[in-house]
Structure 1
Amino acid sequence: MDVRQLEYFLAIVDHGGFNRAATALYVSQPALSQAVQSLERDLGSSLFHRIGRRAVLTEAGRALIEPARAAVRSLQTARARVAAVEELRTGRLDVAAMPSQAVEPLTTMIRSFSDRFPGVSVVIKAAFTARDVVEMVRTGAAELGLLATAGPLPEKEVTVHPVGRQRFVLVAAPDGPFPDKDRVACEELSGHRLIVGQSGTGMRAYVDGLSERGVEFAIAAETEHRVSLLPLVLAGVGVAVVTEAWRGMAEQAGARVLDIEPESSLDIALVSRGELSPAAQQFIACAVR
């Protein structure tokens, strides 16, 4: 007797007959029948009464159901545990991330995860908006998503794992506006030229909010390519409102980073959907601890 025979037996029970079970298992009906006959020989008892095309459980068959399910569950658990060990030795994890969050905190998350599981490759997939991230996770294009939002987190479609907040800051060229300041009131952006991202991003929502509050400014450039923000700022095209994730990189590039008052921030979260792989579970554990 082997577990495969028990799985075939349970499939016949669950699907109500040999034909449906064979279809569900992707095996031929003769092969299924032979496996059950072999099981019956091993047990020394018939498990089904064959009545035409119907298969009716015998008393022995009914008695086998519970121990058969226990045996199959035990094997599945053993396989899952072995697979979990192997998955964390090698493999890959797909993470969809918005551009700013791909700078930080994703860098720190991957460093922490890779220190513990160096054999697992993290594949970063580009998503421009929080909606893009949720859609990629929902459809399975990525197992995890990292997003930022100024509004409610999208808890209806995905499972949300909060990881923190990022405040907005202003990035300016070394010889640009506000030369002697380390912070600026949002109203002081009136009359300046701004470099902005596309609609749907938290950074763009903040700038649009300023306009609604009566802060008048000119949009010098709108870009979907977030890597162009710093070069445009350093070239003197305008200033840019970004999240704190950019501070270190901007200062290293020679730009000035100013806090904006009053403070405003985005909520940062990892999102997932359904049963997670061991790698995804450990990545979340590294990120939110």
Structure 2
Amino acid sequence: MEIRHLHYFMAVYEELHFTKAAEKLGISQPTLSQQIRVLEDELGMPLFDRIGKKIVVTEAGSLLFSYTTEVFNTLQNVKDSIKDLQGLQGGQISIGIMPSDLDYRITQLVIDFHQKFPKVKLKILASIDIMRQVLENEVDIGIGTNVESDDRLVIIPLCREEYVLTVSKEHPLAQQTVIPIAELEGLPMVMYPEGFLGREIVEEAVKKHGFHIHSILETSSVTSIMNLVRANIGVTVQPYPLLQQMNDPSLCSIRISNGAPSRSLSIIFRVDRYVSQATTAMIEQIKHYFKSK
């Protein structure tokens, strides 16, 4: 069995179409079909059922996919570890982070890291599904929210952050410093859509007090949310450090008492992923950054 056969297999597995897979690989369709047959003959079992123009993965194909994924991850770790012998003079780090934190929280972190290690390329990806990004190797590390224990992950706790009610300075509540969570009931709010973690955290907190938030406008963009609150369209509930970082005099933060929503932040990465010197340096930078906030 050769590595190229596994690459051919993975292409067909992902596309479920021999012609498209062949185009992706830059080879002819007959050549690809012949190479897959060679692999199937070696294994003694079909990897795909060909039903007319439709292709279905067999049980043997699913099993080969699992092991091939592990093989390719191991090969990538070997390449990364050898490249790492060059030290912090190059390479790339990809990081997954919540969109709101990307917009307002980590600019200084990125600046500081780049000044220390200018030859390391950073790739920051916004996502509301960071655990999936990490587990599917789309990013090297993630800054996850309320991450549950998982044997596949290394989890490094960073901090816990409370949410606050955020209103325009023109809002009738703007002069308050504290509001009981029960008094959030009925307030017209601008929030993330249902299914977004930032929305679920707030909903879980108010649900304990017997009500749901009254959402009048929903958007997936924290920038839009803040612009709408600034215009006094409604209020919102967001992490207090986010508001601190924005430092916007047109917005007022009101602490929530009697059970404020909160979130925990953690660095996460796969237990089987090679952690380069550059990535280790970034992890330490992230830990220091959040500790100092």
| TM-score, with structure 1 as normaliser | 0.64
Shift of 1:205: 1.8
Number of the residue aligned with 1:206: 201
What does 1:17-32 correspond to in 2, within 5 Å?
Answer: 23=2
Distance 1:25 1:207 in 2: 49
Number of the residue aligned with 1:269: 266
Number of the residue aligned with 2:190: 195
Distance 2:92 2:198 in 1: 31
Q: 1:246 aligns with which of 219, 242, 267?
A: 242
Letter paired with 1:277: S
What does 1:71-220 correspond to in 2, within 5 Å?
Answer: 80=81, 83-84=83-84, 86=86, 88-103=88-103, 105-128=105-128, 132-149=129-146, 153-209=148-204, 210-215=206-211, 217-220=213-216
Number of the residue aligned with 2:283: 284
Distance 1:202 1:218 in 2: 17
Distance 1:117 1:229 in 2: 35
Segments of 5+ residues of structure 2 without an aligned counterpart are 6-77, 289-293
Letter paired with 1:95: I
Q: Deviations over 1:228-279 (max 9, x none)?
A: 1111101111101011232135432621112211344211011111112222
Number of the residue aligned with 1:61: none
Letter paired with 2:130: V
Q: Deviations over 1:7-29 (max 9, x none)?
A: xxxxxxxxxxxxx7xx5799xxx
Q: 1:249 and 1:108, CA in 2 relative to 1: closer, same or farther beyond 3 A?
A: closer
Q: 1:24 and 1:120, CA in 2 relative to 1: closer, same or farther beyond 3 A?
A: closer
Q: Percent identity?
A: 20
Distance 2:246 2:281 in 1: 31
Distance 2:152 2:136 in 1: 11
Distance 2:81 2:175 in 1: 60
Conserved in 2, the CA contact under 8 Å of 1:103 and 1:245? no
Letter paired with 2:284: A
Question: Which of the two has higher C-alpha Rg?
Answer: 1
Shift of 1:144: 0.9
Q: 1:249 and 1:109, CA in 2 relative to 1: closer, same or farther beyond 3 A?
A: closer
Shift of 1:121: 2.5
- The total of aligned residue pairs comes to 211
Segments of 5+ residues of structure 1 without an aligned counterpart are 1-19, 27-76
Letter paired with 1:174: K
Shift of 1:105: 4.9
**Match of 1:181, SS?**
coil
Q: 1:280 and 1:259, CA in 2 relative to 1: closer, same or farther beyond 3 A?
A: same
Distance 2:238 2:93 in 1: 28
Number of the residue aligned with 2:28: none
Distance 1:251 1:24 in 2: 54
| TM-score, with structure 2 as normaliser | 0.63
Q: 1:122 and 1:24, CA in 2 relative to 1: closer, same or farther beyond 3 A?
A: closer
Letter paired with 1:261: S
